[in-house]
Amino acid sequence: MLIVYLILLVISVFFYIMYVPDFSFYLMLFLLIMPVVLFILNIYISRRIKVRFLLPAHKTVGRSVVPVQIEVVNPTVFPVPNLEIFIEHHSAFENDKKKNFAKINLPLLSKETQTLRMNIASLHLGEIDLIIKKCRVYDILRLFKFKVRGKGYENCLKETTLFVYPQYSHMENSVADYSGIGIDSDEFSPDKKGDDPSQVFGIHEYIEGDKPNRIHWKLTAKQDQVMVKDYSLSMSYAVHIFVNLNTEKAKDYDAVIEGALSVSMMLTDRGIAHTVLWADKKTNTVTSINVKDESEHYECAELLIKSKTYSDSEEAVFPFTMDSEQLCCGHLIIFSKKLDEKTIEAVTGSGYAARYLFAFSRSDKDENAESEIITQDNVDILYIRKDHIGDAFSDIVF
């Protein structure tokens, strides 16, 4: 458009020189003043326009389409011929430095509010951050462009996050009883009775089959009927699930996250308390979340999805197992990319658990060779792939 404007300006000057009439003069004057007017209007409009996301976060399952909405407001009496919006988005992978941009161009009428809808779907799991990186206003001749700025725009919601969760794999596996392995706990189930005499769960009238040593003699004497104590169920969190976020490949991350959360949900549905762990590279600590019901599972899943991946080839992958001086759990389940034999031996020789299960993300090259479960004493090794988690664990007793 700049070339067109210059051609018109040259023609108007030529007409003014060649012809005396007022029209040629006013035409030339109009073309000379127009850039100044457009410049002033663009500055004014760029400081008044507001562009924002309507929601700070969205949750979805893999491959589902999510409508992310952007609101654009032009409170001025001047129309905007072209508003250009740049949106930056990047995945959960901390080591993914690549910046991906999407560009939106639209006109805006005076005093108009538009709601734009972006349909977003992700083939991979994890956290996707979307940022309104910059907005630019162009005049009708595209002579000038100005970044949208001002207090109204600065206070807008310019970031939103898409949390992509897995489709849980259905599992009907058996779960071993670890109540006798000697793991102490100060936490008891609020809704299930057990055999821990250190705390009373409830009291009921005697029914045939109740053990005599559970009779509450003082209460029986007061109420003149036999009352029996119910003992509490100790929440020993005997199953630990470790999620290794040290990965560079999306396929490894997908299989690891889907596998860990599917097993956690299966244990939750059975009412089996367990612990989910993962390494936080930024704080150099291991995050540990106890899960005993559905609400705690979803809280844990959200924290796990929010955690960033990292890449460290020389890392001691499971330092927390080396710090254990006594048995910490009955079954340690590790979801990870494939580990070397030295790391596996270090973990299984730590004495952290009574049993170990390594679930490694399987590459397409190893699909046939590594489809069976490898069992060695108290160690199981299997290979998993996204969307086929249930099949891989079909013969496993947790």
Cβ contact 70:113 at 8 Å: no
Do 90 and 210 fall into the same domain? no
Cβ contact 352:327 at 8 Å: yes
Instruction: Give one DSSP letter per residue of 236-255, joined into a string.
Output: ---EEEEE--B-S-HHHHHH
Do 206 and 142 fall into the same domain? no
Cβ contact 48:137 at 8 Å: no
CA 358 and chain centroid, separation: 23
Cβ contact 287:303 at 8 Å: yes
pLDDT for 111 = 92
Q: Which residue, among 191, 185, 223, 192, has the nearest Cα to 205 in the 3D structure?
A: 223
- pLDDT tens-digit series, residues 36-68: 888 888 899 999 999 999 999 888 887 788 889
Do 142 and 215 fall into the same domain? no
Residue type, 75: P
- pLDDT tens-digit series, residues 231-266: 555 556 788 999 998 888 888 888 899 999 999 999
Is 184 within a domain?
no
pLDDT for 84 = 93
Sheet holding 227-234, edge to edge: 188-194, 227-234, 196-205
Half-sphere exposure of residue 328, counting CA atoms within 13 Å on the CB side?
20
The count of structural domains within the chain is: 3
Choose the final residue of a domain: 148, 164, 180: 164
Do 252 and 374 fall into the same domain? yes
The CATH code of the domain that includes 360 is 3.40.50.410
Do 209 and 154 fall into the same domain? no
First to last CA, the chain: 69
Is 35 within a domain?
no
Do 350 and 379 fall into the same domain? yes
Residues of the chain with pLDDT under 50: 369-371
pLDDT for 369 = 44
Residue type, 276: V
Pairwise CA distance, residues 56 & 32, whole Å: 46
Mark 207-231 as b/e (b = at least 16 C-beta within 10 Å). Answer: eeebeeeeebeeebeeeeeebbbbb
Is 323 within a domain?
yes
Pairwise CA distance, residues 15 & 21, whole Å: 9
- List the domain range (segments joined by +) for residue 220: 201-233
- In DSSP terms, 257 is beta-bridged to none
